[in-house]
């Protein structure tokens, strides 16, 4: 049994995206080679909602919600019934399987909130949970916080799209050996790999056979690049009863400042998640929930344009990194890049701090996403196009300066 001190050591946020401002410059001056590299600072730790502003109408929706007063301020813990009703129809259409607004859907404080509730509803001391590596860093921390045992599932991501994907043998072996929950993101965070139709149907079918609970984080599933296709697990023919799908408007739609997410699926788990929400923070902020009415209801052409603009940045940065010798997988969806840095004279954590100090570029160290990934860095490229390209060039320059 871990002490509470150990429990919180495992939750260190020193390198978490957005927390860099709390770091001290410390001994960086001694380590630094050459001069400060000028240029517009870019914070790749999260998307820039000034470059890609929130969905049109979202602040007006908030003001309408505020104007509705009490009934919008105090919703059920699982969220406003009329908003869930409208949302369920859209989420059902998007994912290819109906969602019951009354029993199968909960509105949460961000997708982070949805993940927390989903894992809190399924993981307790000793629960064996399959976690993909690399994957969103909070998955590992959540499993540990709730006392679960992590069973790692390797994700191949350095090959072609056809070669990439989760190790299905590892999945089957985990399911055969007492693992009762699998959590994963597709598109994968941090690599942008989209799980193939074959991988998704295999996972769904294996989980159904073994009675495994599936928690599928589809946060980025709307931002799909040219020529890519996406399989929604919940619409597969064989799916376990205990499946939870997680989405939210924080990324592609830039509504992160509203802290809104949704989880939908198993009635039993949604009910547990609401009970947990009741003691965690009661509900997603009432007035904010109103902004969900703009989701999947954007103006004609808005999503298509947003996708095109992100694809252009993706392609430009891939060009910069690849010509600079940084091995980088082509993201099939989403706005993350996960370039691998060649051997350097400084360790991965120091390089990340130097990038911020010397080059005005904030990235998230690969070590946050799984063991043995300290040679990679993650960038959220939802940024001003020109500033992002210049910043990527500074990263390449920094690699040259510190190359071993």
Please give the residues from 141 up to 170 whose contact with a second copy meets the rule CB under 8 A.
141-142, 145, 147
The residues, any chain, with a CB within 8 Å of residue 2's CB and separated by 6 or more, are 10, 147
Identify which range of 25-33, 58-66, 190-198, 391-399 contacts a second copy by CB under 8 A. Answer: 58-66
Identify which range of 76-84, 90-98, 220-228, 297-305 contacts a second copy by CB under 8 A. Answer: 76-84
The residues, any chain, with a CB within 8 Å of residue 70's CB and separated by 6 or more, are none
> How many amino acids of this chain bind a second copy (CB under 8 A)?
71
219 scored as a contact of a second copy (CB under 8 A): no
Q: Which of 86, 272, 322, 385 is the binder for a second copy (CB under 8 A)?
A: 272
Q: Please give the residues from 9 up to 48 whose contact with a second copy meets the rule CB under 8 A.
A: 11-13, 16, 18-19, 21-22, 46, 48
For a second copy, the closer of residues 46 and 322 by Cβ is 46
The string of DSSP codes covering 127-174 is: -EEEEEES--HHHHHHHHHTT-EEEEEEEE-SS-TTT-EE-HHHHHHH
249 scored as a contact of a second copy (CB under 8 A): no
DSSP bridge partners of 165: 156
278 scored as a contact of a second copy (CB under 8 A): yes
For a second copy, the closer of residues 137 and 296 by Cβ is 137
Least Å from the CB of residue 269 to a second copy: 10
304 scored as a contact of a second copy (CB under 8 A): no
CB of 32 closer than 8 Å to CB of 354 = yes
Q: How far is it, in rounded angstroms, from Cα 315 to Cα 200?
A: 27
Q: How far is it, in rounded angstroms, from Cα 39 to Cα 395?
A: 12
Q: How far is it, in rounded angstroms, from Cα 340 to Cα 33?
A: 21
Least Å from the CB of residue 105 to a second copy: 14
Task: Report which DSSP code applies to 291.
Answer: G
Q: Which of 150, 275, 322, 357 is the binder for a second copy (CB under 8 A)?
A: 275
For a second copy, the closer of residues 74 and 319 by Cβ is 74
74 scored as a contact of a second copy (CB under 8 A): yes
3 scored as a contact of a second copy (CB under 8 A): yes
Q: Which of 191, 221, 288, 294 is the binder for a second copy (CB under 8 A)?
A: 288
274 scored as a contact of a second copy (CB under 8 A): yes
Task: Report which DSSP code applies to 35.
Answer: P
For a second copy, the closer of residues 73 and 168 by Cβ is 73
Least Å from the CB of residue 242 to a second copy: 12
Least Å from the CB of residue 210 to a second copy: 18
For a second copy, the closer of residues 328 and 383 by Cβ is 383
Return the number of other C-beta atoms located less than 10 Å from residue 385's C-beta: 15
The residues, any chain, with a CB within 8 Å of residue 116's CB and separated by 6 or more, are 138, 142, 280
Q: How far is it, in rounded angstroms, from Cα 39 to Cα 391?
A: 7
63 scored as a contact of a second copy (CB under 8 A): yes
Q: Which helix (H) or strand (E) holds 323?
A: helix 302-323
Least Å from the CB of residue 25 to a second copy: 16
Q: Please give the residues from 98 up to 137 whose contact with a second copy meets the rule CB under 8 A.
A: 108-110, 112-113, 116, 121-127
282 scored as a contact of a second copy (CB under 8 A): yes
The string of DSSP codes covering 69-135 is: THHHHS--TT--HHHHHHHHHHHHHHHTS---TTTSEEEESHHHHHHHHHHHTT--TT-EEEEEES-
Between 348-359 and 385-402, two packed helices, what is the crossing angle to 10 degrees?
130
310 scored as a contact of a second copy (CB under 8 A): no
């Amino acid at each position: 049994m871990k002490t509470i001190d150990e429990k919180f050591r495992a939750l260190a946020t020193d390198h978490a995206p957005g927390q860099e401002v709390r770091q001290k410059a410390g001994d960086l001056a001694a380590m630094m080679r050459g001069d400060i590299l000028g240029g517009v600072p870019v914070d790749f730790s999260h998307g820039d909602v000034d470059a890609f502003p929130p969905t049109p109408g979202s602040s007006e929706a908030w003001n309408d919600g505020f104007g509705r007063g009490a009934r919008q301020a105090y919703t059920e813990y699982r969220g406003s019934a009329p908003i869930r009703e409208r949302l369920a129809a859209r989420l059902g259409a998007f994912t290819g399987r109906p969602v019951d607004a009354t029993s199968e859907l909960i509105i949460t404080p961000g997708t982070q909130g949805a993940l927390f509730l989903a894992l809190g509803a399924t993981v307790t001391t000793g629960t064996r949970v399959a976690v993909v590596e690399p994957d969103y860093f909070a998955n590992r921390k959540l499993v540990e916080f709730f006392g679960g045992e992590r069973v790692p599932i390797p994700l191949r991501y350095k090959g072609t799209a056809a070669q990439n994907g989760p190790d299905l043998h590892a999945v089957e072996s985990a399911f055969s050996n007492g693992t009762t929950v699998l959590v994963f993101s597709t598109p994968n965070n941090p690599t942008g790999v989209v799980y193939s139709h074959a991988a998704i149907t295999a996972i769904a079918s294996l989980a159904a056979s073994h009675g495994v609970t599936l928690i599928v984080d589809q946060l980025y599933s709307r931002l799909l690049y040219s020529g890519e296709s996406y399989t929604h697990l919940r619409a597969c023919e064989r799916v376990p009863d205990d499946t939870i799908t997680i989405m939210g408007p924080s990324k592609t739609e830039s509504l992160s400042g509203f802290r809104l997410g949704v989880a939908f699926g198993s009635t039993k788990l949604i009910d547990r998640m609401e009970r947990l929400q009741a003691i965690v923070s009661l509900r997603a902020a009432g007035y904010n929930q109103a902004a969900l009415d703009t989701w999947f209801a954007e103006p004609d052409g808005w999503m298509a344009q947003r996708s095109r603009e992100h694809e252009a940045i993706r392609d430009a940065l891939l060009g910069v990194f690849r010509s600079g010798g940084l091995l980088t997988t082509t993201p099939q969806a989403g706005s993350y890049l996960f370039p691998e840095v060649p051997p350097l004279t400084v360790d991965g954590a120091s390089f990340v701090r130097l990038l911020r100090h010397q080059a005005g570029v904030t990235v998230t160290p690969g070590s946050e996403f799984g063991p043995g990934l300290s040679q990679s860095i993650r960038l959220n490229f939802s940024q001003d196009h020109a500033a992002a390209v210049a910043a990527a060039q500074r990263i390449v320059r920094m690699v040259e300066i510190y190359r071993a």
